[in-house]
Structure 1
Amino acid sequence: MSADLVPPRERECVQCGRREAWDEDVATWTVDGETIGEVYCVHEWDINGEYSPFR
């Protein structure tokens, strides 16, 4: 029995509202939409204990 790893595809900073989405083409997070957030924010992403990366 093996588990499939399912990483998040979107995330949002709970401090400044920056939204990012995973871009498969460049294999990195990119800004999603027009909310780029604060330059000096230490981003706290909205991924918490409720998120399960395994199926």
Structure 2
Amino acid sequence: MTTIVPPRERECERCGRTDTWDDDSGTWTVVEENGERLTGDPYCLHEWDINGAYNPLEEGA
């Protein structure tokens, strides 16, 4: 059986913004580190590090 595994985190390759997936809200949220949100550049057209190297398929037993 094959399972689709969506990404749980992403980082912008341009500005460094880091997000994690929040199951409760069903959306991406900005990561906080030492009380500071890692928002990167608010005007960046984010280029997320989820690309062709990411494989969303997980083979089951």
TM-score w.r.t. the length of structure 2 is 0.82
Report the number of matched residues. Answer: 54
* Aligned structure 1 segments of 4 or more residues deviating by more than 6 angstroms: none
CA RMSD of aligned residues (A): 0.9
Aligned to 1:19: 18
Aligned to 1:52: 55
Aligned to 1:31: 30
**Structure 1 runs not aligned, ≥5 long:** none
Return the offset for 1:3: 2.1
- Computing the radius of gyration from Cα coordinates, the structure with the larger value is 2
TM-score w.r.t. the length of structure 1 is 0.90
1:21-42 Cα shifts (integer Å, max 9, x gaps):
0000100000012311111100
**Structure 2 runs not aligned, ≥5 long:** none
Higher relative strand content: 2
Letter in 2 for 1:8: P
Letter in 1 for 2:57: F
Identity %: 56
